[in-house]
Amino acid sequence: MAITIEIDHARTRRMAPGQGQGQAPVQAKPQQRGHARSPRQAGGPVVPQGVKGPIRRLKWLILVLTLGVYYVTPFIRWNRGPNAPDQAVLLDFAHGRLYLGPAEIWPQDLYLITAAMLLATFILVLVNALAGRLWCGFACPQTVWTDLFLLVERLVEGDRRQRLKNIGAPLTAKRAAQIATKHVLWMMIALLTGGTLIFYFTDAPELLRDLAHGEMSATALTWTLVFAGTTYGLAGFAREQVCTFMCPWPRLQGAIWDPEAFTVNYRDYRGETRMSVKKAVEARAKGEPAGDCVDCGACVAVCPIGIDIRQGPSFACINCGLCVDACDGVMAKLDRPRGLIDYESWRNIERGRAGELRVSRLVRPKTVGLALACVALAGVIAVSFVTKTTAVLSVQHDRDPMSVRLSDGSVRNAYTVKLLNKSSASQTFKLGIRGVDAALAIVGYAKADAIEVEPDGSETLRVTLTMPEPVEADVTFQAVDAAGQVVLTAQDRFVNR
């Protein structure tokens, strides 16, 4: 199996007809047609061409949905009752809360966030095992905003041919107006993006009103400009450099690359040898081999990364499938079957070279195992959310001294007990113990059955246990609610030393 993965993906390499495992790739001939050049100009950015097709339409749909979710979500309301914010998604740094609809996550619930990130990683690996860098090509924020910026660029400056003419051309009044218009629109999108991100950290309608009245705080304004500048720089200028060099996922994906995954591949056994339509007809009439690829370079021209998929698998390919649309369009015009470039597994490419039937192995031990792991982890997270309490009881034993012997021979241990109320309503608890026969006393409280904890607040108690006939044993502190149900427990130890 011969696979070429190069950092300098401006060079082109292709398989010779019938080339199989263990054979070295053959250096491609220089391109003869001007439009077959790589969309990357010398020392400049990639200038991709627009394309139409089902995959491009799917990408537009995902772009609209993802941007809609991003821009609208901060304004969705969620009634959590009194003393609680009504924004559905809110990261409240001031009070140390993360609100996600009905879920309220405190710093003590960090394990849930960790589990959610682990689940996202498992899902990403599963998607990679099924279809490679599908996330990168369709839903990654860098891809989505770059597509949006490229759309603005095409609408203002024209498609690829016109933009290439503009590179190095004398600056005219029309050209200056186009550049200014493009960058103004980019800045507007960037500011809208940065401002929306700030809305996730504070009440969105209130901040929007402050912004409309010119009363936005310096902190909010600073972060808006920072996020706007990041969007403007990454989507407007860095573009494919982020996907190829800045993002770690291409390197990680190379380590878990799966030859059975359905990634964008070129069926070289069908496309080679490349030649024009006229020459292909003549070659076939003579009984000579002629491939379906006419070397038009459409697949290269539309690539947002600037690679030639006909070289073989590349770590830089984001699996967006735009080259599939471009090639299918050319094949349709030539009345040839689609799929010369397609979502296909590398194993099937090898099977095609050997004349074997293609096999779809999306369901295999690896994908089944990953899917089961995702389901199991999602179940654990769901159960943890459902069973998560709205209060926390913690106990810390005094260390110096650990125990005190009284004049009557009894032994006293002291503890710091903390009751945390994570709900938006006050709660009253009765504190008790089990496991030892000891007298419980709370400093500052005559009785232990009326401990009120304010909403989103905590109560720290100084608690002593006195045992007339001291023995070392585990002790369980328990908090009982107004209905007499034990709702919280915490374990420590009574010591006699």
- H helices present in 200-248, as ranges: 204-212, 218-233, 240-241
User: Which has more pLDDT, 253 or 240?
Assistant: 240
pLDDT mean over 324-344: 95
Confidence of residue 4 (pLDDT cuts 50, 70, 90): very low
Chain Cα centroid distance, residue 213? 35
Confidence of residue 454 (pLDDT cuts 50, 70, 90): confident
Kindly report which listed range (56-65, 84-93, 320-329) carries the lowest average pLDDT score: 84-93
The CATH label, of 2.60.40.10, 1.10.760.10, 2.40.50.1070, 1.20.1740.10, for the domain at 391-494 is: 2.60.40.10
Q: What is the mean pLDDT of residues 215-221?
A: 89
Q: What are the backbone angles phi and psi of residue 30, rounded to the nearest 5°?
A: -60, 145
Dist. CA 307–CA 136, nearest whole Å:
15
* E strand or H helix at 254: helix 249-255
Structure tokens at 235: 């989507």
Burial letters 15-51, b for 16+ CB under 10 A, else e: bebebeeeeeeeebeeeeeeebebbbeeeebbbbbeb
For 51, phi then psi, to 5°, come to -145, 150
> Which pLDDT score is estimated for 2?
44
Integer-rounded Cα Rg, in Å, for the chain is: 32
**Is the predicted pLDDT of residue 202 greater than 60, yes or no?**
yes
Q: Is the pLDDT of residue 287 over 90?
A: no
Which is higher by pLDDT, 315 or 320? 320
Phi then psi for residue 285, to 5 deg, are -65, -30
CA dist 87 and 261 (Å) reads 40
* pLDDT given for residue 9 in this prediction: 39
pLDDT band at 248 (very low <50, low <70, confident <90, very high): confident
Q: What is the pLDDT of residues 20-36, one digit of tens each?
A: 333 333 333 333 333 44
Q: pLDDT digit string (tens) for 40-81?
A: 554 567 899 999 999 999 999 999 999 999 999 999 999 987
Residue 40 pLDDT: 55
Q: Give the three-state DSSP class for 302.
A: coil
Six token digits for residue 144 = 């989505």
Q: Which amino acid is at 90?
A: L
161 vs 389 pLDDT, higher one: 161
Instruction: Answer yes or no: is pLDDT of 197 > 50.
Output: yes
Q: pLDDT value at position 449?
A: 65
Q: Model pTM?
A: 0.82
Name residue 419's amino acid: L
Report which of 424, 404, 381, 423 is spatially closest to residue 465, judged by C-alpha positions.
404
Is 95's pLDDT higher than 60?
A: yes
- For the chain, the domains span 13-44+254-357, 54-253, 391-494
User: Of the candidates 422, 349, 361, which has an alpha carbon nearest to the alpha carbon of residue 392?
Assistant: 422
Mean pLDDT confidence for 277-302: 91
Asked if 133 contacts 317 with a C-beta cutoff of 8 angstroms, the reply is yes
Q: Which residues contact 403 (CB under 8 A, 6 or more apart)?
A: 411, 412, 413, 470, 495, 496, 497
Strands 391-397 and 458-467: unpaired
Burial 56-85 (b: 16+ CB within 10 A, else e): beebeebbeebbeebeeebeeeeebeeebb
Mean pLDDT score of the chain:
87
pLDDT band at 400 (very low <50, low <70, confident <90, very high): confident
Residue 5 has pLDDT above 80, yes or no: no
Task: Give the pLDDT confidence score for residue 447 in this predicted structure.
Answer: 60
